[in-house]
Amino acid sequence: MAFASKPTGDLVFDLLDETGDHGKTKAHFPIATTVANVFTAADALVPLLQALTGCTVLGYSASYGSRDTAPAAPAAGSRVENKGLFVFNLANTLTSRMEVPGILQAVLLEEGLIDVENSDVAAFLTAVISGSSIFRGVDASDIVSVRSAYQHFRATTRRQLPSGRSAFGG
């Protein structure tokens, strides 16, 4: 993997007009800009947008992205619909889920459970749960342990169907 940051981040405003329709406005900022500075600049635009449009600005989001400039080839037979579902316990007693698309057969047990003793699975769990990890539940509660981990299939969408599936004349 060789990830490189995009040259810019994206700021998207969500607007609501008097009919209830939503609209978006998108601007770009240098990728090195801190989140605090982006929010300060965005706050300055909010009243200006509301004056221009008569819409209410519901909020905005700032995104920072990075892409792999030299991606490896996916494994033969990999399918994103074949997921590894990890359910984590949170400090507030609720749970949080994370899906890994294309889970490898080599990390699965016979009954479809994920082998948490597998060294690569253990490394993944450590990256999520460890004290230095920044990952949290959606309500910012600490992730404390894994509750369950198993294989889970999602329906194939129309776009994911094989392109040559009508080759038999049916």
Partner 1 sequence: MRDETGSSALMRGSLQPDTPATAALDQIISLAGAASAISGCIPVRVSVSYRISIMPRSAPSGGGIARDQGVFVFSSSSDVHTIIPVSGVKRSKLSDVGCFASEVFEPTDADIAAFSSEIVSGIWVGPFGEPIDAFDIAYLRQVR
Q: Considering only residues 9 through 68, tell me which ones interact with partner 1, judged by CB under 8 A.
A: 9, 15-19, 21-31, 33-35, 37-39, 41-42, 44-46, 48-68
Spatial separation of the C-alpha atoms in residues 170 and 162, rounded to whole Å: 14
Indicate the residue among 21 and 110 with the shorter CB distance to partner 1: 21
Which secondary-structure segment (H or E) carries 119?
helix 119-129
User: How remote is the C-alpha of 149 from its chain's centroid?
Assistant: 19
Considering only residues 63 to 102 of the shown chain, the ones binding partner 1 according to CB under 8 A are 63-68, 71-81, 83-84, 96, 98-102
Q: Which two tokens stand for residue 117?
A: 């003793």
- The verdict on 162 binding partner 1 (CB under 8 A) reads yes
- The verdict on 146 binding partner 1 (CB under 8 A) reads no
Q: How many residues bind partner 1 (CB under 8 A)?
A: 94
Residue 101: CB minimum distance to partner 1, A = 4
- The verdict on 118 binding partner 1 (CB under 8 A) reads yes
Spatial separation of the C-alpha atoms in residues 101 and 154, rounded to whole Å: 10
Which secondary-structure segment (H or E) carries 14?
strand 8-16
